[in-house]
Structure 1
Amino acid sequence: MASLFKDFWTRLTGGGASGREEPAADAVEYKGFRIRPAPYSAKGGYQTAGVIEKDFEAGMKEHRFVRAETHPSKDDAAAFAIAKGKQIIDEQGDRVFA
């Protein structure tokens, strides 16, 4: 599991085998949060991944997530990441940043 997060972080920060990642999809506003899908190429498909952001008085906070699901297209993975981000927000709210 730790290697999955390490792989996600490496890809998100521009590392990895290719050293080049496609830009993440535009952020979606939801209940005062922003969900930024960040799918990446993995296992012959695209991995579900994203970032949940929210602005606070002390500054912006973010929560990165990766899920086991892979999808045949980047658009499918991005749409699923948005759905998962909404689910996380509905279940945890601001606690996601704790």
Structure 2
Amino acid sequence: MGILSGLKGLFAGGESAPEKAEDVVEHKGFSIVPAPMKDGGQYRVAATITKGEGEEQKTHHFIRSDLMPNRDECIEITLRKAKLTIDQLGESIFK
């Protein structure tokens, strides 16, 4: 990365929007949708966790600082971290 592109990334935010959402993965009644974000040639760990349907549906979005060199590895790490978060926090993730 050159100096100018590094400065451009610094002032432009350097992150992009999440790419196409992946398939939904169910874990203990929660739905996890990985949403890796391209960031400087790598992928940032991000996902949406939901529970319930319709008006009862609760949603939690998370973006981690973790960067992975490829998309598939990012999705794998995202699912592992999302499941761990659900295991540790359960319903309190929505507070």
TM-score over 0.5 (shorter chain): yes
Going from structure 1 to structure 2, the CA distance change for 1:91 and 1:38 (only over 3 Å counts) comes to same
Candidates 74, 83, 88, aligned match of 2:80: 83
Please say if 1:24 is aligned against 2:21.
yes
How many residue pairs match? The answer is 83
Name 2:42's counterpart in structure 1: 45
Identity %: 35
In 2: Cα distance, 1:23 partner to 1:56 partner: 22
In 2: Cα distance, 1:7 partner to 1:59 partner: 35
Considering only CA atoms, is the larger Rg found in Structure 1 or Structure 2?
2
Unmatched segments (≥5 aa) in structure 1: 1-5, 13-21
In 2: Cα distance, 1:58 partner to 1:92 partner: 22
Please say if 1:35 is aligned against 2:32.
yes
The TM-score with structure 2 as length reference comes to 0.77
Name 1:60's counterpart in structure 2: 57
The TM-score with structure 1 as length reference comes to 0.75
What code does the residue aligned with 1:53 have? T
